[in-house]
Structure 1
Amino acid sequence: MTEKREYRMEELARLAGITVRTVRFYRERKLIPPPRREGRIAWYDDHHLARLRTIAALLERGHTLNGIAELADAFDHGRDVGDLLGLGEPTEETPVRLTPEELAARFEGEVTPENLAAAMELGYLGTDGDDFVHISHRLLEVSSALVREGIPLAEVLRAGARVREHADVLAGLFADLILRHAPEQELSRLRPLARSVVEAELSLALDRRIRKGRPGPDPDPDPDPR
């Protein structure tokens, strides 16, 4: 087990590559949590050091201190990763750990307090120390791809909330089906079958939408009367 290290402010500043004055400024702006007090002495730990290094990385990427403060507030008041994952990790979806700068890079300019709150409320994001944890690698990749295509993250999250509602209904439909007709079977064995049906129906629905939105061929000209 790694022993927890603590630092006086001067040592913390040296390890983070900044001045003591900057550490005080960040503390006053609540960019870092309060230190542990022992009389008149303030003790900082590796959590503070990681946060300072994260701030430096975000500043290098062009983020403002106000934006970083919003991100820090999300850490301190966000959902814990244990709440996000519940009793255990998803059986098929793989969680992804992201530093704040990695999250900011994936959603350039879209990591706002409102979007963070929406993602946490939806159950996409949780916090673990100085990292974010996204509950699904596939959803993370799709969300960032949609944002790169020019769709605002707020709209992606709103769409995700609606999809969640429909997905819950579909899951209930298939679970009820197997419990009524094959109660001895485990629900986990239903997953591939249910997923195949939903994917096929979604593919067919997209085909119908594409055909509906595409202009039809020009009508045949009137036959020559001669």
Structure 2
Amino acid sequence: MTDKREYRMEELARLAGITVRTLRFYRERKLIPPPRREGRIAWYGDHHLARLRTIATLLERGHTLTGIAELAEALDHGRDVADVLGVTPPTEEEPVRLTPEELAARFEGEVTPENLAAALDLGYLGTDGDEIVHISRRLLDVSSTLVREGIPLAEVLTAGKQVREHVDALAEMFAELVLRHASEDDLHRLRPLARSVVEAELSLALDRRLRKPQV
């Protein structure tokens, strides 16, 4: 097991690619948790570094410091991370908590700033203290398996974005069908039927694809 590192303010700022002045500003805005104090010395850990890198990525994607501060406050004060990420009940998905090291091990060599930004844009990832939270265990398992099979994570995330667009349309179609004849409560109750239809049709589509003659 790798020992957890601690950093002085100057080293943390250097590793995060920001100035000490910016780090102090983030701390004053409560964008990062308080450091561990040892007398007059403030010690920061890997969870601070992960949070700073997340802040940098969110800023690059056009998020405001006010919005980031609201997210950080919600996470640091115990608000349910699934709610913060937009996975409000009812849901069948199980969020997964990982350390930055565990995430890197899942996608060895593929956890780049670009891929992190894409995963954040899709809503797959969030932070909670010194942990990273993936929105869905099933999506995490599938994406990490595809990467182990040699498919670049960037392409997996691009495919995920395309799938999201299609399944949003399918979900809307199913909801409209049910709500024309039943209630919102019935929609919650019948949602497993929608999943079964999609899984069956996808399986049949793959059967058709596999039967196609190879050119």
| Structure 1: distance between partners of 2:86 and 2:159 | 23
TM-score by length of 2: 0.70
Shift of 1:130: 1.8
Equivalent pairs, count? 177
Query: Which among 74, 85, 88 is matched to residue 53 of structure 2?
Result: 74
Q: Deviations over 1:20-61 (max 9, x none)?
A: xx63652340449557799xx4534xxx24548xxxxxxxxx
Deviation sequence 1:56-85 (CA, Å, 0-9, x none): xxxxxxxxxxxxx7x564333447464743
Equivalent residue, structure 2, for 1:112: 112
Distance 1:184 1:50 in 2: 44
Q: Tell me which residue corresponds to 2:42.
A: 43
How far apart in 1 are the matches of 2:103 and 2:136?
14
Q: Which residue does 1:100 correspond to in 2?
A: 100
Match of 2:14 in 1: 29
Gaps of 5+ in 1: 1-14, 53-68, 216-226
Q: Distance in 1 between matches of 2:189 and 2:5?
A: 54
Q: How does 1:119-130 map to 2 (within 5 A)?
A: 119-130=119-130
TM-score by length of 1: 0.67
Give the Cα–Cα distance (whole angstroms) in 1 for the partners of residues 5 and 208 of structure 2: 58
Q: Which residue of 2 aligns with 1:190?
A: 190
Q: Rg: which structure is higher?
A: 1
| Residue 181 to residue 51, structure 1, CA distance change in 2 (3 Å) | closer
Q: Using the alignment, how far apart are the partners of 1:115 and 1:93 within structure 2?
A: 22
2:188 pairs with 1:209: no
Matched, 1:169 2:169: yes
Q: Distance in 2 between matches of 1:17 and 1:113?
A: 21
Identity of aligned residues (%): 60
Q: Is the 8 A contact 2:93 2:138 kept in 1?
A: yes
Write the distance in 2 (CA, Å) between the matches of 1:170 and 1:17. 46
Name the CA shift for 1:155/1:98 in 2 (closer, same or farther; >3 Å). Answer: same
SS in 2 for 1:43: strand
Q: CA deviation at 1:93?
A: 0.2
Cα offset, 1:182, TM superposition: 2.1
Q: Is the 8 A contact 2:110 2:153 kept in 1?
A: yes
The Cα of 1:148 is off from its aligned counterpart by: 0.5
